[in-house]
Amino acid sequence: MHARIPTEFRYWEKIDTPAAERLRSVLRALFGVDPRLPDETVRTWGEGYYEADPVAEAFIDEVMIPRGQAEGRRMVDLALESGVDSVPDAPASLRRLFEEQERAPSWVDRRVVEQGARVFRRFGTHMYSFAGAITLEGYRESSVAKPLAFTGAYAGESANRRFLETASFWVDVSEPGALEPGGRGRATALRVRLMHVFVRRRLLAHPGWDLDAWGVPISQSDALLTLMGGSFLPGYGLRALGYRTSREEIEAMMLFWRWIGHLMGVQPRWYPRDVSEALGLVFTSMVKGASTSGDDGVTLARSYLESYGPRDGDDLQTRLVKRWERGLQLGYASWFVPPRTYARYGLPRPGLWRLHPLAQAPWHFARETVRRRVPAVDEWVDRRARAETKAWISARLGARKAEYHAAERFTR
């Protein structure tokens, strides 16, 4: 008997439809491979919607649920700073968590991981705009949208700060050496991991969570798609902006994000070995969707774009800058969000903003061409991209810092 698969995982009832066949044909023409995965692989991924993070969950259940999130964070911060032995009466669950963090799986190749991090950094703030845009497509699915809707994350006034915290996370994990023992990226990954488990525990107790239809909140399978959103998808998608990312570089990013995922408790039973299998996963995700998020998906998508706009009380200069940034994001969204989804959300017409992503392509293509041939330019591009992303986040977060706190109360 096969394990459980959510009822909204509708792959097998849709795979032979004309729409799925058209999509399959288009992807086969673009990539030169058949994107359909073996049924057993699809089933393994589907079952992952009921798989979570038992190692971190044990610590949450033992410490953070009964004693509070603040106490759990205190223990973790002390262990990160001085080692787990420095924590008085460290619970077994904390020790096991840190043992896992310090033990690298056999598939980790640190040279390739660092190469992937460098490729990811090179996209600079374009990565933020691309990731924000493709996330809007994910909001069509209840398993993605409902956790954010119930907690109030990425909606209303909190949308901009939550996205900035995500961007800050990307900087932390992609800096040179960030994922080595003692690196800032490792510490940030662990804090985000615990935040996810804390949210998962609370959502599972929420009367509105439909376990049969959606699986567990922030499941291994949804998290696996997020890892593709940081590697395979921008590797190919940002070619539209002139980036010349090779297959080898995209696969290096896939390993980079697999290692980040592992540190965050994303340890699926199946992970794509190469870009062909990654394409298969993306194809499967596009076919299987139920698109049942309803008004929650619409609210999240609109809140993301509006979060870039002016606020009451902004001075004239700030309002002009924010209107400019909102226009830029409209352009990226109209370029990278499928037209049917864009219309479904009722997002504003982008007007001439739609042209600006394409207008950048000649400059980026020229720079990429030189960078690939001149090592000194490659180094300059890396330094410049790192500086620009940090400045972008700092200008928006100001004196605030990313905290990665789980919501203590749900908005509904």
Query: DSSP labels for 325-336?
Result: HHHHHHHHHHHH
- pLDDT of 300 reads 92
d(CA 167, CA 394): 11
pLDDT for 314 equals 85
Residues 6+ apart with CB under 8 A from 293: 139, 140, 141, 142, 144, 145, 146, 149, 300
How high is the pLDDT of residue 361?
94
pTM, two decimals, is 0.94
Residue 298 CA to residue 305 CA, distance in Å, equals 11
What pLDDT score was predicted for residue 27? Answer: 97
Which residues, 6 or more positions from 90, have their beta carbon under 8 angstroms from its beta carbon? 75, 79, 84
Spatial contact of 61 and 231, defined as CB atoms under 8 Å apart = no
- Sequence-distant (6+) residues with CB within 8 A of 129 are 328, 329, 332
Give the pLDDT score at 164: 86
Burial letters 162-171, b for 16+ CB under 10 A, else e: bbbbbbbbbb
CB 287 within 8 A of CB 213: no
Alpha helices in 83-219 (DSSP H): 92-102, 110-122, 125-138, 142-151, 158-174, 184-204, 211-214
Q: What is the pLDDT along the chain (412 residues), one digit of tens a residue?
A: 458 999 999 999 999 999 999 999 999 999 999 999 999 999 999 999 999 999 999 999 999 888 888 888 899 999 999 999 999 989 999 999 999 998 999 999 999 999 999 999 999 999 999 999 999 999 999 999 999 888 876 665 677 778 888 999 999 999 999 999 899 999 999 999 999 998 898 899 999 999 999 999 999 999 999 999 999 999 999 999 999 999 999 999 999 999 999 999 999 999 999 999 999 999 999 999 999 999 999 999 999 888 888 888 888 998 998 899 999 999 999 999 999 999 999 999 999 999 999 999 999 999 999 999 999 999 999 999 999 999 999 888 876 676 666 655 655 5
CA dihedral 226, 46, 136, 344 (to 10 degrees): 170
* Three-state DSSP class for residue 67: helix
Q: How far is CA 296 from CA 38, 163, 286, in A?
A: 33, 17, 19
Helices and strands, number each (H, E), in the chain: 22, 0
Inter-CA distances, 323 with 84, 299, 311, 312, 342, Å: 48, 20, 10, 13, 20
Query: What distance in Å separates the CA atoms of residue 124 and residue 51, rounded to the nearest whole number?
Result: 33
